[in-house]
Structure 1
């Protein structure tokens, strides 16, 4: 397969047999970037663990510094005395039976996450098949 000039130049600056530390590899990739836009980098890291053993499994989560760019729309089912607390916590939609009926009759699904207070679980249970 034939490669372009920029690829060939970047390839000459790397040592094929060398194993780079993560920080060094990222710095090298940034120095060799030729495009006029933010390039995507794919990293393969050998951790040296055997995932068949329970004590060596690697699991984790990452919090991105700037988020994913998508805002989460939260619907909270609660009694009227808790409306203000739910809105203060960041819920976009707060209600009770009115939203249950809207979901059942109109098929309204303009939310990403549903939270229900314990006293509303009996009402929300009717939406089990829909949600």
Structure 2
């Protein structure tokens, strides 16, 4: 399809208008990003361990302190593993040495309700069996 000079000129002007609109939208996105980054700070307490915010190190919020501080825990393992089989780990910053140290496993697990309900049901069954055995003595 061949364009007439008038059609080509109209397309050119439309393209310029769209490029201008894109630039304006990019500027708005940049402004909103700056605003959001300025108003969203780190959590005042770790949502898992309940440690207080200590300081920001290398852009990471750390909790605890003053000798060691820790990041918010994350799950080790592969995404295809069951939640309750994956350990929660924190990164540790050693303030005595001024360096990130070995990660530490924390003694907490995340468990889905289905697994929890199954465990509760099995515990009730075992308790019933224990009661029956005790009554038979």
Which structure is higher in helix share?
2
TM-score, structure 2 as length reference: 0.21
TM-score, structure 1 as length reference: 0.22
Which structure is higher in strand share?
2
Q: Does 1 or 2 have the higher relative contact order (CA < 8 Å, sep 6+)?
A: 1
